[in-house]
Structure 1
Amino acid sequence: MSEHILKATGRSVEGKGASRRLRRAASIPAIVYGGTAAPQPIQLDHEKIWLASQNEWFYASIISLDIDGKVESVLLRDMQRHPFKQIIMHLDFLRVDANQTLRAAVPLHFLNVEKSPAGKSADVVVTHELNEVTVSCLPKDLPEFIEVDLAKLAVGDIVHLSELKLPAGVELPELKLGKEHDVAVVIAKHGRVETEEAAVDTTEVPAVKAAKKDDK
């Protein structure tokens, strides 16, 4: 697991007015909470955080947050964005205890689909039913992503949640809820089936219109 370090500064003034002033000064108001310590308001440099937010790790990795020289391990829990401007409005970070199991959403990386029998077939559609999964593990075991090797994927195959290869120490809580929660992650099916169904629908429309016209 790579180490990702972000720098922040503590802030003593809170409220909407203070947050607006921070944003005008190209800073992001944020909060760090959780654990035994009290919630701590902080501020971060918008440009640096915006660049960090373009990376996958920002959303699914343990972050070393340097607050005025004191480093805390945190996870991003919430991000508020401006509805149409490229501005991050607020961030929530959760403190992480190295000895306590946590839950986090981890992205899936799909590999080798173009080499698979399904990927080589022109009339086959490979759909990703999930792009991330929620895992349970200790902070040191949290993966930045989980690889799904589709090299052997054939037409008609379905890759289920239980078939994912997880790193050591990582579990999928969803699978403990019963077999019905072992959902599909990837499906490979013939694309022409959908095309034929669409063709049937379009040919029926004129016939229905003609029938209605004859009834008048």
Structure 2
Amino acid sequence: MSLGMEAFAATTRFFCEEHLLTVDERDQILWLFGDDFPFSDAVRAADTVHVHVKVEDVATRPHQRIRAMGAVSENAAPGYVKYSFPGGINMIFSSIPVAADDLVEGAVTIAKPFMDHAGLDIRHCGPSYRAVFDTVPARATAMGWRAVTQDGPVHCCHTEVAAKHWVYPPACLASWRRPLEVAFGALRIVDKTMGCDLRPLDPAHPLAGSSTGCGAGGAAPG
């Protein structure tokens, strides 16, 4: 699927109007298409991009208006729904734990709704696509980002993929503030389990050494 900047702009504008994305979050998402985005090669290799938004209650989201925008529900379960939009953008809304951060007792959390992360979905498994995926941790380190690899298969939110890299931006970077997921391999829907491979803690988190999410590999240096 070819990713469409115009479709992304329209879709993210709609969710700003619905108060499910902030203007700052929308600007971050659209920066994915910039030539200066640090992982632009992974964006070009991706079949789709997803934006995962944490909400208080998935059931109260404006589902009829979302479907009227041309979205198709690809995967839905209690506390979780994924919508596929034309142009290669998938919007995910959840109220279930999706990150190791969600399990830190007593942690101060961001007010919902908020963008938990964005993701680049590289579904093709050919050597050139694998090469782009494999270079992500080294690229992150070179750019001052932090990285964690989840060796596959990786299970989370009723799905399975072959592997994932997670990268976390430097604190000084204003144009991108949230974790970025780069997933590799075909997506398999799992009906009976949510999986346990949560988004790992940022390696800069004080608890990162003891809780990186079930199935997470080691953090890349940096």
TM-score w.r.t. length of structure 2? 0.22
Question: 1 or 2, which has the higher helix percentage?
Answer: 1
TM-score w.r.t. length of structure 1? 0.22
Question: 1 or 2, which has the higher strand percentage?
Answer: 1
